[in-house]
Amino acid sequence: MIKNNDKNLPIAFFDSGVGGLTVFEKLKKLLPNENYIYYGDTKNMPYGEKTEAQLIEFADKIFKFFEQQNVKAVVMACNTTSAITYEKLKNNYNFRIYPIIQSVSKVIAQQNIKRIGVFATPATINSHAYSKEIRKYNNDTAIFEIACPEWVKIVEGNKLKQPESLLQIKEKIREMEIHNPEKIILGCTHYPYLLEILKQFVPEHKFIDPAIEFSKFIKDDLQKNNLLSDKITEGEEKFYVSSSPENFKVSGSLFYKLKDTPEKREV
């Protein structure tokens, strides 16, 4: 499929909810003059507990919506769909697609970390996507993968301050500590919202937030392909969600303060 190559078309983002904002706010800082569209599929959240067939259906619908919107690139700011749907869907649309796991694993592998932990959703963990991708570049790394099914709901439900959330997080940290990892990948874009809690148990420098390398990767790739906008004023942004627009604005505010309430749109 021929890809859109008009540099002034928007960049689209998608995730099951507010997780993708942890990537969005970073790319927006690097590329403030781009126009952005963001789709949060809050109605179908959590993605990490869905089947492959469901995830393909959701991603395909959202990609078709982005085709109607005419975008130059789509950022899969969601580890779960990157792990489960990217390989199957990557050639079907008229824009370039950036999947988070595949885009950051090379850089992580090159850091020569001997023992890496991965916290992610059940679907991402069951796919072993991080292990497979990192091992493509470095066979000398032990990788310990732990699923954290409750964590996305803590973030989306704005339950960061509830004692039960602290217990759920602590339990997973204990499970991970047994493996004594040097670094731990936050392998779901919702998890950086939990850093304030996580760092009560593990020093912050031990966590890898893939969004940092991911946003640099996207910028470099757009630049290489002569696809950066040539506008000199700040770009526009438009947010869509499939349910609960107000909740998205509140839960997401820790990472990005939306000017307007997102538009509710089922695709």
Binding site for ligand DGL (CB under 6 A): 15-16, 19, 45-48, 78-80, 121, 124, 152, 188-190
Instruction: Dig out the tokens for 94 from the structure.
Output: 């008229």
CB of 212 to ligand DGL, least distance (A): 15
CB of 217 to ligand DGL, least distance (A): 16
CB of 183 to ligand DGL, least distance (A): 18
The Cα–Cα gap between 49 and 259 comes to: 31
CB closer to ligand DGL out of 37 and 101: 101
* Strands 263-264 and 183-186, bridge-based pairing: unpaired
The Cα–Cα gap between 37 and 53 comes to: 25
251: nearest Cα among 20, 67, 6, 94: 20
The phi and psi torsions of 13 (rounded to 5 degrees) equal: -120, 145
Instruction: Dig out the tokens for 231 from the structure.
Output: 């506008």
CB of 112 to ligand DGL, least distance (A): 25
Query: Tokens 């000199």 correspond to what residue?
Result: 232
CB of 18 to ligand DGL, least distance (A): 8
Catalytic choice (11, 188, 211, 227): 188
Q: With beta carbons less than 8 A apart as the criterion, state whether 25 and 256 touch.
A: yes
CB closer to ligand DGL out of 209 and 237: 209
Dihedral of alpha carbons 260, 47, 32, 91, sign? negative
CB closer to ligand DGL out of 227 and 240: 240
Q: Is 148 a catalytic residue?
A: no
CB closer to ligand DGL out of 3 and 88: 88
CB closer to ligand DGL out of 35 and 42: 42
Instruction: Dig out the tokens for 82 from the structure.
Output: 């990157």
The Cα–Cα gap between 158 and 152 comes to: 10
Catalytic choice (27, 55, 76, 78): 78
113: nearest Cα among 155, 144, 151, 77: 144
- Enumerate the active-site residues: 78, 188
